[in-house]
Amino acid sequence: MAIALNLIVVIPSLNASGKPELAFDTGRMREYLEVAVTQILSIGVGLLLAKSRTLSQSPERMFLLLSGLVLMPSQIIATARGQASFDGSMWILFYAIQAILIPVNWRSHLISQVTVIGYFAIALLAGWRDPNVVISATYALGIFYTILICFVADIGVFLYERSLRREFELRQQLRVFLHAVSHDLRNPVIGMMMTLKTFCHPEQPIAQVPRALLQQMIESGDRQVALINSLLRAHEAEVHGIVLHRQVVQLHDLAQSVIADLHPFLESANATITYAIPTDLPSVNADVLHLQRVYENLILNALRYNRSGVRLSLDATIERSVEKSVKNQVRCTIQDNGVGMTQQQCDRLFELYTRGPSNRQSLGLDLGLYLCRQIILSHGGEIGAISSPGNGATFWFTLPM
């Protein structure tokens, strides 16, 4: 970029200034092109060396090597000719881009800057300065701006590096917290639930404890276990990603199995469900358990946030692409006739820890839809919702065929 800028703008401007001491004659132009070619070759050599095992295992050394090969060869050649000069225009551009593209390890940035600027200072004191360059207030101002840009770049890199370190520490603390939740809280809750369920058997006498209160305690415990499990699954998906065990899946059979499993919930909500998924729909290559979780979360979400008696409809169709490079896909929908929501709320439903409309009350963490999105994205599909207040909602997702 700096070479192109000099050849197109800077050098023609100097030649047009009418000052012989600034103009680039044939000899000076040849010298500049030699330096430019040397820089390009040096960068190429640096990129080749960066592929070596020694440098690839040491990012700091690789950074310093590439940074040095960009700027130092031109300075060494200029010094050998007794023409060392402060190339502030290139240095400002390079160090700013370097800080933006590699905003870590501020010490390495500082070393790369001090090396080049310090080398020029030594050449200046030794009398190897370019005699064609007049040290004026403008020249001194350019030196000041270059040092200022380097300082700002180092501060920005330092702050970014510190924020990364803080984020890493917070993630470590979160892992410890989740470990404590999974081992110190989940198991006692499950143990309590097993004990309560033994008391809830019809043949088991209960002394001075109303059966309705016991049932309420059981439901509360089940809710606690569900919250803990959803939190752990969300964290596992965020850290490790969704691990898929793909196999051939018939969506008609899978949806039928999910409806059978959720029959008690549908009956409790007095909901009716119909599914129009064709039996001859082509199969998809997917993870059965994860896909069941998507259907379960979407159906339970519709039951949880709508009034009793809601009607659900499951469907799936083939979407054929007009582009040969894009595969055909299956579009699955779960539609309800519930209270609905705005499209703005639909767009945020699948974000982490985002609830539905403000009038929907829930004691959960609302991680189900976030997990649905992670699962569908890992399959190479998309997921979303279409709705309007009072007109129900349609949740949809796609799967590649």
pLDDT digit string, tens, across residues 39-62: 889 888 888 888 888 888 888 888
Q: Evaluate if residue 358 carries a pLDDT over 50.
A: no
Q: Evaluate if residue 343 carries a pLDDT over 60.
A: yes
pLDDT in tens, 63-117: 998 888 888 888 888 888 887 878 777 788 889 999 999 998 999 999 999 998 8
pLDDT in tens, 210-267: 767 677 677 767 767 766 776 676 666 666 667 788 999 999 999 998 888 888 888 8
Rounded Cα distance between 242 and 381, Å, is 13
Contact of 303 with 360, CB cutoff 8 Å = no
Q: Evaluate if residue 364 carries a pLDDT over 80.
A: no
Q: Evaluate if residue 313 carries a pLDDT over 50.
A: yes
Tokens of 167: 């984020």
At residue 363, the pLDDT reads 40
- As a whole-number percent, the residues of the chain with pLDDT over 70 amount to 80
Backbone angles phi, psi at 24, to 5 degrees: -100, 105
Q: Evaluate if residue 312 carries a pLDDT over 80.
A: yes
At residue 362, the pLDDT reads 46
The per-residue pLDDT of the chain, averaged, comes to 82
Q: Evaluate if residue 327 carries a pLDDT over 50.
A: yes
Give the SS3 label for residue 332: strand
Q: Evaluate if residue 26 carries a pLDDT over 90.
A: no
| Residue 152 pLDDT grade (very low, low, confident, very high; cuts 50, 70, 90) | very high
At residue 314, the pLDDT reads 95
Q: Evaluate if residue 132 carries a pLDDT over 70.
A: no
Total-model pTM: 0.50
Better pLDDT: 322 or 316:
316
Give the SS3 label for residue 399: strand
DSSP string for 237-292: HHHH-----EEEE-HHHHHHHHHHHTHHHHHHTT-EEEE---TTPPPEEEEHHHHH
Q: Evaluate if residue 337 carries a pLDDT over 80.
A: yes
At residue 385, the pLDDT reads 93
Least confident segment among 186-195, 234-243, 280-289, 351-360: 351-360
| Residue 207 pLDDT grade (very low, low, confident, very high; cuts 50, 70, 90) | low
At residue 39, the pLDDT reads 83
Distances in Å between the alpha carbon of 145 and those of 86, 140, 198?
12, 9, 78
| Residue 353 pLDDT grade (very low, low, confident, very high; cuts 50, 70, 90) | low
Q: Evaluate if residue 281 carries a pLDDT over 70.
A: yes
| Residue 208 pLDDT grade (very low, low, confident, very high; cuts 50, 70, 90) | low
| Residue 82 Rama label (left phi>0; alpha psi -120 to 50; beta) | left
- As a whole-number percent, the residues of the chain with pLDDT over 90 amount to 23
